[in-house]
Amino acid sequence: YIDDLFIVWTGTREKLLEFIQALNDNSFNLNFTFSFDNSWIPFLDLSIVKQQDCTIGTDLFCKPTAAEVCYDRLGCFSNKIPWSWTPQRPIPRLPWSPEKINTRFLLYTRDNLNTYQEISAIQYKTIEESNFKTFRKTRFIIHGFLDNGEKSWMIQMCQAMLKVEDVNCICVDWHGGSLGLYTQASNNIRVVGAEVAFFTKILQNVFNYSPSNVHIIGHSLGAHAAGEAGKNHPGIGRITGLDPAQPYFQDTPIEVRLDPSDAKLVDAIHTDGAPTLINIGFGMSQTVGHLDFFPNGGKHMPGCKKTEILKVGSLDEITNVVDDLAACNHLRSYKYYTESILNPEGFMGYAASSYNAFQ
């Protein structure tokens, strides 16, 4: 099942229709449908804007129609360049509303190791009445695509932290916006990051809690959500990106992705940096922090085997195959990070002039 199939077409509209007909004639058990009116040509899930003086072809991205949504607490979000209409982010989408995404904050402390307390910046009395303490550092953990904030890996990371230090550990659950189309989820993280920033601003303004005591850890899309939080609330102490997501973020401007300017210290672990849909990598290969770590070259982790399953034609087709087998390298990042908390000297390193020399 294909949700989105994106094609940059350089021929005429008639040739495009012939191409779609040919796909259906040689269907490979797929059924491609389309329709169009005077202003829009939807192709599967993709809507290509057709403007006057604009042709389907090399002018595909000329005169894009911008849109914007605004949410009272969080500000406005546009689909203008660089958020859409670029080779890196061709499909224009706006983030969903805060109500639909339903970002939740799940607190773990040494006083509640196994059961979270749900707290809210909107109803900040819930923070006062919880086990949150302002004398502790606070670490947020943000999950990625198709994940949720009650997954065992996030709880295990919190519990590992709490074994070695007395902190407020907050799992950020945004599964209302992480499921479904990847292209949509990659835009929903803008609202998630704004929600985290709203939370840290409440901590600062109501509880006199310095953002320098905040550490935000994000896996995959969660890494870029962490970057959004830092952009919205300058002064965050640290952001850690765990294999920051590659599709829709690699080679984009710093406004779009995690960047060293997002916190006083930004570090990242890269474990799945092979090109997406070719070598089946979900993570970025480019540096995004003050410190970027590429264990084992940042592409192929010990114990992980690539699979032919992921040779697909669509980003959103990944939805059906992201699991421990297919995303093994991608998931290694948070496993390494959790292990490093409990065993900081457990990773053997070898000095070499380059990774090729090491190999």
Instruction: Answer whether residue 160 is part of any domain.
Output: yes
- Domain membership of residue 13 (yes or no) is no
How many angstroms separate the first and last alpha carbons of the chain? 39
Domain count, the chain: 1
Domain-embedded: residue 355: no
Map tokens 């604009």 to a residue: 54
Instruction: Look at residue 87 and tell me if it is in a domain.
Output: no
Residue 230 lies inside a defined structural domain of this protein: yes
d(CA 317, CA 4): 8
Structural domain includes residue 338: yes
Whether omega for the bond prior to residue 295 falls within 30 degrees of 0, making it cis, is no
Residue pLDDT, tens place only, 244-267: 999 999 999 999 999 999 999 999
Q: Could you tell me if residue 139 is inside a domain?
A: yes
Mean pLDDT within 304-317: 52
Give the domain extent around 123: 95-346
Instruction: Identify the residue with better confidence: 309 or 17.
Output: 17
Statement: the pTM of the whole predicted model exceeds 0.95 = no
3-state secondary structure at position 253: coil
239 vs 259: CA distance, rounded Å: 10
Joined tokens for residue 141: 């953990």
Quick: pLDDT tens for 324-345: 556 889 999 999 999 999 998 8
Query: Residue with structure tokens 């994106």?
Result: 6
Supply the residues annotated as catalytic: 220, 243, 330
Residue 136 lies in a domain: yes
Q: What is the domain-level CATH number for residue 216?
A: 3.40.50.1820
